[in-house]
Structure 1
Amino acid sequence: MMMVQKFTYTLGRSLYVPVTSRCNSVPLPYTRGPNFTLPRDIAETLLRFRETEQPGSVPPEMLEAWLGGGDDDDEEKVRIPPYTQVLVNCLYPHQTDDLLRTVQDQKRNRELMASVSAEAVPDPLQPSIASLIDEVESMIDEGNNSARGGGGRAFDSVVIAGEGEPTLRMDACLALARRVSTMDDPLPVRLITNGLVYSIPNFGYSPFNAERNGILPLHRHTVLKDMLEAGITEISVALNTANRHEYDVMMEPCCHTGGGRIGADADDPGLLHDGSHSKVDTHPGTAHDIVCEFIMEAKKIFPKVEITGVDRPGIDKKETTRLARLLSSVNPDKNKRGLQVNIMRWRRYFPEEGHRVNV
């Protein structure tokens, strides 16, 4: 019996694995423009993930409007469904403002972890990490079994990406990469991110992380080190612009003043996980600085870091490429003649038009 792809999807020869539908900025697929389209089966997968993570978040009429009325061709293109989620900068409740409570929580977590397997990651979010790993294993195994008749394998890589920002759920990213990299036939693992992980409380780690025995990381370098050791081999980061204030307008990062729900006010209660804060601490423009810092530090230790942008109207591509070259100079990719290559990858923008534009 073939495994049904419930939360994963396939593009080319890569298996894509979302870990959350939530985001701390405008989600990357939505930066491609209002006329950006996806195969119908992928849109359905993303909506299914969104509904599983937050039951009731996908009204039946949305499913009908975006996915109904078509034929049974999964390759049929549909416009990307509207993103109705509140932007957040954390998926887990953390008491970072109360040191005593934080210490008490970590002590309780260590006691809890002592009674469970060292490999268990009791992340309370849905879909569970275990179910995502099981689906990835099944898809790879079944795909390889089918492909071996031709002497090959079904996938060339696993990509951690989807509708939301994967680094908000760091435990899931690391657990997936660790499992894929230790399979009998391991695959490269690529992470697609907006680069704002340094702005996430506790860098997206769950307070129940068994691997850390309840101890949360304190330093930024821990994030990249953990990613590399878990088996993530490539990172793709969306830079999008060289202008830090233009970045705020384009991406609406909720880690700076003015972020929150797309189009909402700065005091939107959705800014943080539990709605207990009505403002954010960082200043306008800081989010872009965070992305640049992440790119530079990633370039120092990762074998491949891809910097991307969307070729939308008004973007200064020359200056953005120049900034990407500067950020990459800490460890540039060079050709045989010693010249820096692969500076930046520009993605097509799909503006609102009178007709549908397909990818």
Structure 2
Amino acid sequence: MNERLNRLANLPLRENLQGLAPYGAPQIDVPIQLNVNENTHPLPAEVHRAIVEEVSAAAVGLNRYPDREFTELRERLAAYLGHGLAAENVWAANGSNEVLQQILQAFGGPGRSVMGFPPTYSMYPLLASGTDTTYIPGVRSADYGLSAHDAAEQVKAAAPNIVLLCSPNNPTGTALGLDVVEAVYEAGRASNTVVIVDEAYAEFAHTGTPSALSLLPGRERLIVSRTMSKAFALAGARIGYLAAAPEISDAIRLVRLPYHLSAVTQATGNAALKHIDTLLANVEAIKVQRDRIVSELTRLGFTPASSDSNFVFFGGVKNTKAIWEGLLEAGVIIRDVGIPGHLRVTAGTEAETTAFLVRLEELLTQGVNNSPS
């Protein structure tokens, strides 16, 4: 690997990419994978059959380019989101990461900046580097919260071209109040700042948690990003999308690659969206396991954050390395997000959650967490 890195260093790589490592969690084949926030429930048989049938039908015409505007998919996504949205308000791409990349290609770039508030989704700085956009890290409070006043003041001071707000936030799992979004949007008025609210985990939020979709009317610089990877259990299909004013999609058309959504991808998304209720049936079960994890971690002496996502971020881990390795030895993998004293675990099925909790309590009984790593 060192030799490969040396050879890479000899290439005329752009300066802002030099020394960077690619994004990626460990891909280790173990029975219980709770490290990348996937929906661990398999696709319902009904949805699987529908996707197979629709993809099979699409395969007949694979000698032709797909619908460049993916019209049916946009119509179905708009209908799912509601809030008076129409197809012209929706854009889609190969995962929400590509959606965000296209936004940065359109509104970022050399001499421009994007602001995020770490700890947050670790892809944001990499997306900035990949589009040669300067990344400005904002500051959260000691408990990783973000108030409307603090966020707005930082946006006013930095005057970024783009702001990324992750809600529910990854890795902490907490949702932002709409007052934060409104304050940031107003703070960016003078600098004509585009504000993105990344709602990848919105379907897992506690009942009554509002979506930034409700703020879209009259705010042409506001974008809400979503994905079908999490709640829809379609991580392997790579379908992400956004909702915004129609002119946002017009801007992205200037940078998108021709026919970027394959006929197979469109068929998969359309088939899935015909079975929304079936696909989302597991969401409530996942939320039950998430809340169970929060309760049990508290009982065990850890400090889990209140979560509006399908994962739990928890502190009070004195020896993150030993806990992570001890779980892995038992066939359970969770995520070390690089924040001292903290780990993150995806809420899986009831059996997967039980296996995680049982093994974690065993490790505590063995004194694995008694000394710092």
TM bin (shorter chain): under 0.3
TM-score by length of 2: 0.24
